[in-house]
Amino acid sequence: MDDRTSILAPLVALMIATAFVTPVMTQENATINVTVTISQLGVEVSPATYDFGLMNLNDVASTSADYFSVTNTGNVPSNMTMKATNTSNWRLSPSPGADAFTLEYRLDTTWTPLTTSPAIFAANIGPGENETFALQMKTPTSTTSYGQQSTTITIGVVAA
C-alpha cells in the first residue's frame, strides 16, 4: 500500500459510511389550530296562538295532548321555562276562584299550574330537539268581568 492509498482508504470509508446515514431533519415550527363556537340560546313555539272560545264559569277546557311544540333553536342543550300573565280582570291562580283562573300545561299525564314567574317545564332539550305539550284553562268560579280575557304565555330558554 502506498501513501496515496493509505490516505484515500479512510476517505472512501467515510464517504461510504455517510452515504448510508439518513440525515436527521428538525422542524423549526409547529402549529396549533384553535377554534371556538359561541353558545347560542334559542326557542321557537308553534302554534303561537290558541283560542279556548266561549266557556262557562267554573269550566275546564284543554287542547290535545301534543297541540303545542317548543323547539330548541340554539346550539347547546337547554332548559325551557314557561310563565303566564294575569288578564286585565282575572288573576292567575293555582286553583279557580272569584276572578281567578288557572292555566295548566301537561307534558305527559300530570297537569301543572302556570305561575307569573318562569319555571322550568322541559329540561335538557338538545339543539334541534322539541317537546310537545297541552294547555288547560279553568275559568273563575265567579267574575265581575264577562268580556273576553287574554293571557300571554312566555316560553323562555336557559342553558342546561
Q: Which residues pair with 101 in a beta bridge?
A: 92
pLDDT of 106: 97
pLDDT in tens, 6-22: 665 665 565 665 555 56
State the Cα–Cα distance between residues 72 and 77, nearest whole angstrom. 8
28 dihedral zone (left: phi>0; alpha: psi -120 to 50; beta): alpha
pLDDT at res. 6: 61
Question: Which grid coordinates belong to 146?
Answer: 264577562
CATH number listed for the domain at residues 43-159: 2.60.40
Write down the mean pLDDT value for the chain: 91
Q: What is this structure's pTM?
A: 0.78
The pLDDT-based confidence of 2 (bands split at 50, 70, 90) is low
Q: What is the DSSP letter of 155?
A: E
